[in-house]
Amino acid sequence: MKKGFFITFEGNDGAGKTTIAKACMDQLKEQGHEVIYTREPGGSRIAEQIRGILLDNENTDMDARTEAILYAAARRQHLVDIVAPALAQGKIVLCDRFLDSSLAYQGVGRGLGINEVEELNRFAIHDLMPDKTIFLAVSNEIAQQRMGARSEALNRLDNEKADFHEKVRAGYEKLLQRDPQRIVKIDASGSVDHVSATAMKEIEKVIYG
């Protein structure tokens, strides 16, 4: 069975993951590839229902471990419904967030521990890891500016205090040090064209070798 390629985009809220992933999707399609864009949490019917619980601004009293478990549950359902079938069909899957988000947000941001959250998620993903992870890095100041310019309302995690987002940013740096072969850091403070071109170079290395 032909296997596709699994590329994930990571970074703080406001880093531009959705914009860059979709720009890369368009370029890959122009090259003749079968590509899908998807996101976490969500991406499929049940996973989107879990997303609604996770990001609801009314749920500010959610326990940190409950949050981590719900993210893992949404991840599993999304993997089964969307990611695994597409990869089995030989498609390129571009995913806005995956395991690294839980490690950065719940492992470091919530203080649950990277190893502890990783162990929880290993059961959910069953050893399926991305071929490459694009870490879009911006300062928290730029991230906050971009979130403030969004047309949609901010969700529960968007509305966390600045120190939480600083911890998450530091968490991504730790993950980069842990897995420099898989994770590549890109300065995402520039234009969409520049950042997507840089990301495409990394994706093409995976696809074409």
CATH number at residue 131: 3.40.50.300
Whether residue 30 has pLDDT greater than 60: yes
Split into its structural domains, the chain has a count of 1
Residue-number span of the structural domain to which 36 is assigned: 5-208
How confident is the model over 45-85, as pLDDT tens digits?
999 999 999 999 999 999 999 999 999 999 999 999 999 99
Residue 151 pLDDT exceeds 80: no
pLDDT at 1 over 60: no
Over 80: is that where the pLDDT of 2 sits?
A: no
- The DSSP annotation for the chain comes to ----EEEEEE-STTS-HHHHHHHHHHHHHHTT--EEEEESS-SSHHHHHHHHHHH-TT-TT--HHHHHHHHHHHHHHHIIIIIHHHHHTT-EEEEE--HHHHIIIIIIISSS-HHHHHHHHHHHHTT---SEEEEEE--HHHHHHHHHT-SSPP-TTTTS-HHHHHHHHHHHHHHHHH-TTTEEEEE-SS-HHHHHHHHHHHHHHHHH-
Q: What is the CA radius of gyration of the chain?
A: 16
0.85 cut: is pTM over it?
Answer: yes
Could you tell me if 64 and 157 are in contact, meaning their C-beta atoms sit under 8 angstroms apart?
Answer: no
The pLDDT mean for the chain works out to 94
